[in-house]
Amino acid sequence: MRRLTLFLVLAFPLAALAQAAAPVAASWTSLLTLSNILWALGLLSGGATLIFGANAIIWKRRLALIVSHSFAIVEDLDAELANTKLDKTLEFLKAANDFCVANGWRSLKPNEVELAKLMAKAKNGEAEAAEAVQTKALIAAAMPRTPDQAAAIVAGLK
């Protein structure tokens, strides 16, 4: 699909340029104007962006998917092994590589491993913050709002 897109991006404007230049001059040297050269360079850089930039965007999406699944796997494993000390970072990286291999992708590069660790720390901090907010909400809901409620709670404790 990308090759077809590249063909369409490159072929149609070049054909239009050739047809437009044919009546003006029969030689190719007349096409070497500054505007035509800049136009061709822009076209080539746009085609390169379509080819190589798309892979970078796709891999960023894949990395986010890898981190999401690996984080969920490690959290489930940590919940199952509550009494066992678990090295979450090591298990996370193992789960990430297993997920890549299972989907037929390559293993993570060293810079992607560092980025994945950072994303996992961010997800862990987000989960801890959500838990803290929930705990504070439960405490606030249990607090007495009037002196009569406070007296009822104290009477219930005796």
Secondary structure (H, E, C), the chain: CHHHHHHHHHHHHHHHHHHHHCCCCCCHHHHCCHHHHHHHHHHHHHHHHHHHHHHHHHHHHHHHHHHHHHHHHHHHHHHHCCCCCCCHHHHHHHHHHHHHHHCCCCCCCHHHHHHHHHHHHHHHHHHHHHHHHHHHHHHHHHCCCCHHHHHHHHHHHC
Q: Average pLDDT of 105-129?
A: 87
Cβ neighbours of residue 86 under 8 Å, at least 6 residues apart?
74, 77, 78
Question: How many residues can be counted in the chain?
Answer: 158
Q: Is the pLDDT of residue 61 over 70?
A: yes
- Residue 153 confidence class, pLDDT cut points 50, 70, 90: low
Q: How far is CA 152 from the centre of its chain?
A: 52
Q: pLDDT value at position 78?
A: 84
Neighbours of 104 (CB within 10 A): 6
Tell me what the mean pLDDT of segment 67-73 comes to: 88
The pLDDT-based confidence of 64 (bands split at 50, 70, 90) is confident
Give the residue-averaged pLDDT of 78-91. Answer: 81
Q: Is 104 left (phi over 0), alpha (psi -120 to 50) or beta?
A: left
Domain segments of the chain: what residues?
Answer: 2-143
pLDDT in tens, 8-52: 556 556 655 665 555 555 566 677 778 888 888 888 877 777 777
pLDDT of residue 13: 62
| 67 has a pLDDT exceeding 80 | yes
Region 64-83: what's the mean pLDDT? 86
CB atoms within 10 A of CB 67: 23
% residues pLDDT > 70 (the chain): 75
